[in-house]
Amino acid sequence: MKFASAIKAALLATALTTLSGCGTMNAIGNLEDGAGETFMDIWDKWVDAEGDIAEATMWQVKVEEGVELADVIDAINNVGINRNIKNVGELPLSEELKARGIESGVVHVMSFCNPETARKMIDFSPAMGGFLPCRVNIIEKEDGLYIYTMNMDMAIKMGRKMPPELKEATMQVRDTMWEMLQKGSKGEF
C-alpha cells in the first residue's frame, strides 16, 4: 500500500514538473478545494477497475435484498419530487429489448433536471450540457440490482471554481443525486 502511494506521489510530481510550463499550473490554481483528493479517489477506482473510466467516475450502490424494482423507482422519484428535481424521462431499456426479442436483465434509465441550475451551469460552461440531464441507472447484475449515477464531486471539485450561487445550487443537485442512491437502494420514502 505504501509502495502504491509512493508511485502515485512520484507520478503526480513528475506530471506537475513536466506540465508546469504549459498552463497546467494556472488550471490547477482555478480548481475547487478538494480537487486533488477527488482526483486521487477517481484514480484509485480507475486502477482497481483495470482502466474502466466509467466505473471510476460513477457512484454505485447495491439495492438491498427484497427491494423490488418498482420500489426503487418510486423512492428515487419521491426524492426528486421532495428536492425539486424534475423527472424528465425514463427509458425502461430492458423492456424495449424484450419487445425486440432480446432477453435482458433490468436496465432502467431515469433522467432528472432542475432547469434553473442546468441553465446556470450551461452559462458557466456550455460543455457541461453534455452531462445533462442527470441520469440514474438501475441495472441488474448476477447478484441483484444496482443503482448508478455520475460522481458529481468530479464536476464540482475537479472543475474550475464556480460562482458561489452556482456552487450552492450544484451542491443541492449533488446531494439530491446522492440521496436518490441511498433511498432508492432501500426502497425508502
Average pLDDT, the chain: 89
Task: Report pLDDT for 118.
Answer: 95
In a domain, 162, yes or no: yes
Q: Is residue 67 part of a domain?
A: yes
Q: Extract the C-alpha cell encoding 123.
A: 452559462
Asked whether residue 81 carries a pLDDT value surpassing 90, the answer given is yes
Name residues whose C-beta falls within 8 Å of residue 140's C-beta, 6 or more positions apart in sequence.
94, 105, 106, 107, 146
Tell me which of 9-18, 89-98, 118-127 is least confident: 9-18
Q: Give me the domain span that covers residue 95.
A: 58-186
Name the band, by pLDDT with cuts 50, 70 and 90, for residue 19. low
Q: 38 in a domain, yes or no?
A: no
124-137 confidence digits (pLDDT tens): 999 989 999 999 99
Residue 25 falls inside a structural domain: no
Please check whether residue 36 lies inside any domain of the structure. no
Residue 159 inside a domain? The answer is yes
Number of domains in the chain: 1
pTM of the complete model = 0.82
In-domain check, residue 181: yes
Residue 97 maps to which CATH number? 3.30.310.70
- Check pLDDT > 60 for residue 146: yes
